Amino acid sequence: MIVKSISFDNTFNLVKDDISELEIVESSKKDNCLIRDKNNTARYYKNFILDENSRTKILCSIGFYPSSKTKKYLPRIIFKKTNKNLEVKKEIEKKDVNISFDTSEKSLVFWKLIMFLDSFKELVDLGDFAESYKVAPRNKYFMEFESKDDVDQLEDVRHLIKNSKLSSNDIKSLLFEQRKKKVRTFYYLLTNKMYESVRSLDYYREKYYLKEGDENVWHHFLKNNDWILGLNVDIKFIREFISETKVGKEDSSGSGSPKSDILGISNYTTLIELKTAVTEIFKKKKTSKSRTNTWDFSSDFIEGFSQCLGQKYSLEKSYGSKVFLDENDQRINKEAIRTIDPKTIFILGNRKTEFPHDGGNDNIIKSETFELFRRNNRNIDIITYDELFERAYHIVHSVKLQSDWYQYDLI
Structure confidence by residue, pLDDT tens digits, 117-136: 888 888 888 765 555 555 45
Handedness of CA 282, 283, 286, 290 (dihedral sign): negative
Question: Once rounded to an integer, what is the mean pLDDT over residues 328-335?
Answer: 65
Q: Show me where the domains of the chain are located.
A: 7-135, 141-165, 182-407
pLDDT band, very low/low/confident/very high, at 148 (cuts 50, 70, 90): low
| Per-residue model confidence as pLDDT tens digits over 80-99 | 888 888 887 665 555 566 67
User: What is the residue-averaged pLDDT of the chain?
Assistant: 79
Q: What is the pLDDT of residue 269?
A: 72
**Mean pLDDT throughout 205-219?**
91
Strand, coil or helix: 295: coil
The model's confidence at residue 206, banded by pLDDT at 50, 70 and 90, is very high
DSSP letters for 349-377:
--HHHHS-TTS-HHHHHHHHHHHHHHHT-
The stretch 346-364 carries a mean pLDDT of: 89
pLDDT score recorded for residue 399: 82
CB 44 within 8 A of CB 67: no
8 Å CB contact between 242 and 265: yes
Task: Identify the three-state secondary structure at position 258.
Answer: coil
Which segment of 87-91, 230-234, 403-407 scores lowest on mean pLDDT? 230-234
- Predicted confidence at residue 176, as pLDDT, reads 75
Terminal CA-to-CA distance of the chain, rounded, Å?
66
d(CA 54, CA 162): 31
Strand residue runs (E) in 182-291? 194-195, 198-199, 240-246, 259-265, 268-274
In this prediction the pTM is 0.57
pLDDT at position 214:
94
pLDDT in tens, 24-76: 999 888 888 999 999 998 999 999 999 888 888 888 999 888 887 888 888 88
Q: Which DSSP string do the residues of 90-152 spell out, in sequence order?
A: GGGTTS-------SHHHHHHHHHHHHHHHT-TTTB--THHHHH-----HHHHHHHHHHS-HHH
User: How would DSSP label each residue in 325-337?
Assistant: B-TTSPBPP-TT-
Please report which helix (H) or strand (E) contains residue 204, including its range: helix 200-207
Is residue 242 within 8 Å of 263, Cβ to Cβ? Answer: yes
Beta carbons of 275 and 348 less than 8 angstroms apart: yes
